[in-house]
Structures are given as C-alpha cells and as structure tokens.
Amino acid sequence: MFYHWESTAPDDNFLRQANNLHWHEYTWRQIAQQVRNLASFIAERGYPPGSRIGLLSCNSVDWFVVDLAIMLSGHVSVPLFPGQDVESGRYILEHSEAQLVFLGRFNRAVDVDAMIPPSVKRVAMRGCSVSCDFRLTDIIASYPPFAESPIPGQDELLTLLYTPGTTGRPKGVMHTHGNLARVMPRVMTLMQQPSRPSQRGRLYSYLPLSHAAERIMIEMLALYTNPTVSFSEGSASRADELRSVKPTLFLASPRLWLRFKQAIDAHFPPEVQATFGEEEKAFVRAHLGLDQARVVLTGSAPTPKDVQQWFIDMGILLRDCYAMTENIDGASYSDGTPEPGCAGKPPEGVAVKITDDGEVCFKSDGLMTGYYKDPEKSAEVLVDGWYHTGDSGRFDKNGNLWLGGRISEVFKTSKGKFVRPTELEDRFGAVPHIAQKMALGHGRDYPVMLLNLTEQARAGKRTALKRELERALDEINAELPEHERIAQLFIIRGEWSIENGLLTPTMTLKRHDIESVHAELINAGVGAGRVVWE
C-alpha cells in the first residue's frame, strides 16, 4: 500500500503536524523520500534481517516515517509508550534485544540513561530532548533513497507490541505482515472511511501509536485508504485541533468521553439540555469537532452507560469496539444504533464463544502468533486456535456480546459473595464531580469506592458536595442487591496517573497498587461515615 500511494498519489497531502494550531503538511512524495532515505541508513547498520528496533515517542509525522522505514529495511518495530516507566522500558528493550532506538518526546526523558541500555544506539526524532548518537533530520538530508521495494512474506514478523503490564512484566505480542494484510480490508469496510480521490477521509492522531488500537485505526487504516492524518501537538490544544480537523473517524477512551460531556455540562445544565432540539444538538456536535465523523468509537474499558447514552442522544453514535493487543481484528463491534454497555457482534472473519466458566474466547486470522520468548504463556492463552481473553461475558438472545469485566478482578466479600468492580464503577459514571473511581472490597463486609474529584469539584464547598454524593450513593444502592451495596465513599486528594505508577501506559487502573496505596485510609475510615475525605 505504501508503494501504491507513493506512485499513484505523490502530490496528495498525507500527514499534517500541528504547531500552535497551524498545520505543516507533507505530501506522499515527501514522506516516501524521508522513509526511503531513513531505510538506507538502517540498512547500512548491517543488522541481521528481522532485528528489533525500538520507537519511543509521542505521535508525530516522524513516528510514521520511522515505522515505515523499519518495515522497508526488513526489520521489526518495538514501540514503547511515551509514558513508559523506566523499569518496564528497560525490560522491553533488553527482552526484545533491540539494536537501535528512535527517541522523540516522551515522559521519562530525565531517566533516559537508566531506561536505554548502553549498547543500544539512539536516533533523535522530532521533540527529542536527550543526547543521541544520530539525528533523524541529518540522516534524511544525507542518505540516498533506498531503491528496492521488497514485499515481505506473510509469516514475517512485523512488530512486537508489548502489553501494558497491568499485573506483571509486559509481554511481547508478535504480529506478522500477513496478520495486517488479512485484517485491514475488513477494518477498512467496517470503519466506513472514504478512499476516493475526490472524497478523502480525515484522521486525527493523539492516542499513543504504540497502542494496538491507534496503530491499526490510524496508521494502518491510513495506509489502506489514503486520508490526511493530523498529529496533535498535545492535550492543551486538542479541543481546537478537533474542531479544525473534523475527523471522519474518532476513537477515545471512556475518560475522554466523560470529559467531553463534563465540558458541555459546565455550559448547559441538564435541565437546559433536556430542551435541546436538532439545531442545539448539531451545535454540540460541531463544538466537539465530531459533526462529520462517520464512525465514533469507545473502548479499552467500560464507558458508563449514561455517558454513552448522552452522546447517542446528541446524535453522536458512540459505539463500543472490543479488541485487545493480541488480536488486531476487533472481537466485536456495535453496528447500527448502539446499545449502551453492549459490545456488539463479532465482525466478519471473527468467531467468539463463551466457555462454561463464562470466559470470552475468540479466533480470527488477525490473532497473534504468540508471546515473544514465552511459549508457556502462549500455550496458556492460545488453545486449539482460540484466544482466551480473561474477560467474562455473555450473549443475549440477539447474539450481542455483553462484557462483565476481568475475571481476575472479581473479588469476594467476607460474606462469601462475589462482586464485579467494573459494574459498580459503571453506575457512578454519570455522577457529577467524579474524575476517577475504583471499587474494592475483597475480604470486607461490603464493597467501598475510592474516588477522586474533578478540578471544579475540588474548588467547591465540601458540605454541599457531600450531600450530593450521599444522595447519589442512596440512589445507586437502592438498585443493587444487598451484597453489592457500597458502604462508603473515600475521597482521595490526588489522582491516579501513569507518572505515579497507578495507571498503565494505556490508562488502565493498577488495582492492586491503588488498593495498597490507600489501604491505611480505608482501614482507618471504617465506620467514620458514608463519605470519608483523605
């Protein structure tokens, strides 16, 4: 596909880099030249075919250039998350035996010497602030283009995507060129992105490209449909960038969807929104930059049903897409008008089943070939061609998949009752003032909930907020069976972040670590009231 657009659409603007809300545009001809010049540099290193090459950077035009050059030169990319912690970053580079690493802007630049093994040479990309052996701009300016246009074999390794390491060491998920070649035509159809020269799509890249979702839905989809791809400068300018780009496809995590809703709620109270007609809803869609999006997706964690319904009511058909790093083909997708909380049906080419223990399993030709250097773990999760997800789920009478959370996250109270924390957390999704939440209660009489507040709520009066939270708690508990009723809400001061080690690089809660950090607060606050402040 790279060769196709290079030869048939050389003058099409392909990639766009944001700079203070101005866009620097690059044509296919310009990008192809950069890719080929860089591939010559990599080839000159003399690495054995299939050598691993690291990529640690926020999203940018350079990210695409580097990834394509690694492919063109016959090697395997090993992307790291921009927020990767030092220990796991070092582990990934050593475990993958990376020969070279490309560095852009990333969170732990101050710890770069502890993260990057001394034997690994460094190349500075856009935004790099650390000492490197080479600079990408110098390489592109001085090397001739790589003249060959090889076609990789279907079984040749394309990339190692390391899992976030929620409960242990990251695992290197192996995906081949054939995986992508088989899956992308289906993704292309499902995502409804135009590919005609007169009507090209517009993609907006801001989630880490090291994540499988962004890699497939942005980079690989771009290679198949020739849209323009606009790279965000950062979260501070994201709202304005979205309104400028007006993407035809947009995906985000539940946390961002909640923030979008809270931003509208801050301007229009619920009682005002209840009077909205189509004109006002169209204004909301345009204000969010989503008025021209053909497909709008949520995933990676449950989106509160009330939040998802709010977007649907606004005319933004927010769909669940259930997938994971081990399968670049989505396991299920909500087609038509989405039903909040429903993961939808398996798309063409994917089979899903539920085991007798309630575990979701699926198979497709987009499944990983296994975990790198870990045949035992590979054999544990890949059984007779089925990938065992570790997620619980069920099918309804219409064949739709409903997820129940990670089996390993289910806890048992002192009364011997099992509780799914994600289902409790989902009920608090539409409660105003809450930024993050986590239910826990293993070995306790009843579950409790840890919460941190939005910036606006932290600035408000505690007495009024306490009354609102207690009222919400009463309403939620009234709908729950007795053993699931939340006994107390614990309001913590800070937030859980990648930087403090309480979120994975994909923004997933590290539940065990969070519970350990706040154990003293919870134990000391038992019986101290229904809302306890740190």
Per-residue pLDDT band at 195 (split at 50, 70, 90): low
d(CA 91, CA 368): 21
For helices 254-267 and 278-288, the axis angle rounded to 10 degrees is 130
- What's the mean pLDDT in 37-52? 97
Give 77-98 pLDDT, tens digit per residue: 999 999 898 999 999 999 999 9
CA distances in angstroms from 234 to 14, 206, 237, 382, listed in the order given: 20, 8, 6, 38
- What's the mean pLDDT in 3-20? 96
Give 137-182 pLDDT, tens digit per residue: 999 999 999 999 999 999 999 999 998 766 678 999 999 999 999 9
Q: Would you call 54 helix, strand, or coil by DSSP?
A: strand
Judge whether residue 194 has pLDDT over 70.
no
Question: Which residue has tokens 């990670």?
Answer: 406
The third-level CATH classification (topology) of the domain covering 410-533 is GMP Synthetase; Chain A, domain 3 (3.30.300)
d(CA 256, CA 251): 10
CA atoms within 13 A on the CB side of 160: 25
d(CA 230, CA 233): 10
CB 488 within 8 A of CB 532: yes
What CATH homologous superfamily does 248-407 map to?
A: ANL, N-terminal domain (3.40.50.12780)
Structurally, at CATH architecture level, domain 7-150+194-225 sits in: 3-Layer(aba) Sandwich (3.40)
Give 343-399 pLDDT, tens digit per residue: 888 888 899 999 998 999 999 999 999 999 999 999 999 999 999 998 989 999 999
Query: What pLDDT shows up at residue 166?
Result: 63
Per-residue pLDDT band at 134 (split at 50, 70, 90): very high
Per-residue pLDDT band at 503 (split at 50, 70, 90): confident
Question: Which residue has tokens 């048992």?
Answer: 412
Judge whether residue 297 has pLDDT over 90.
yes
Beta-carbon contacts of residue 393 (< 8 Å; ≥ 6 apart) = 343, 354, 358, 359, 360, 401, 402, 403, 404
In the chain, what are the domain boundaries?
7-150+194-225, 248-407, 410-533
Give 426-455 pLDDT, tens digit per residue: 888 778 888 899 999 888 888 999 999 988
DSSP character string of 441-507: -TTSSS-EEEEEE-HHHHTS-HHHHHHHHHHHHHHHHTTS-GGG----EEE-SS---TTTTSB-TT-
- What's the mean pLDDT in 521-531? 86
Handedness of CA 168, 403, 259, 533 (dihedral sign): negative
Beta-carbon contacts of residue 122 (< 8 Å; ≥ 6 apart) = 100, 101, 102, 103, 116, 130, 131, 132, 133, 134
CA dihedral 268, 274, 278, 283 (to 10 degrees): 10
d(CA 467, CA 217): 43
d(CA 59, CA 126): 10
Let me know how long the chain is.
Answer: 534
268 — phi, psi (to 5°)?
-130, 105
Query: What pLDDT shows up at residue 106?
Result: 93
Q: Pairing between strand 100-103 and 121-124?
A: parallel
Per-residue pLDDT band at 24 (split at 50, 70, 90): very high
Judge whether residue 253 has pLDDT over 90.
no
Are the folds of 7-150+194-225 and 410-533 the same?
Answer: no
Q: What percent of the chain has pLDDT over 70?
A: 99
Q: Would you call 293 helix, strand, or coil by DSSP?
A: coil
Beta-carbon contacts of residue 519 (< 8 Å; ≥ 6 apart) = none
Least confident piece of the model among 9-18, 338-347, 425-434: 425-434
For residue 477, give the amino acid letter: N
Structure tokens at 82: 């921009």
Beta-carbon contacts of residue 68 (< 8 Å; ≥ 6 apart) = 2, 31, 35
More confident residue, 315 or 480: 315
- Nearest CA among 89, 98, 96 for reference residue 45: 98
Mean pLDDT of the chain: 91
Q: Pairing between strand 52-56 and 22-27?
A: unpaired
Strand stretches in 116-185, DSSP E:
121-124, 134-135, 157-162, 172-176
Query: What pLDDT shows up at residue 464?
Result: 87
Judge whether residue 242 has pLDDT over 90.
yes
Which element (helix H / strand E) includes 19? strand 13-19
d(CA 484, CA 236): 39
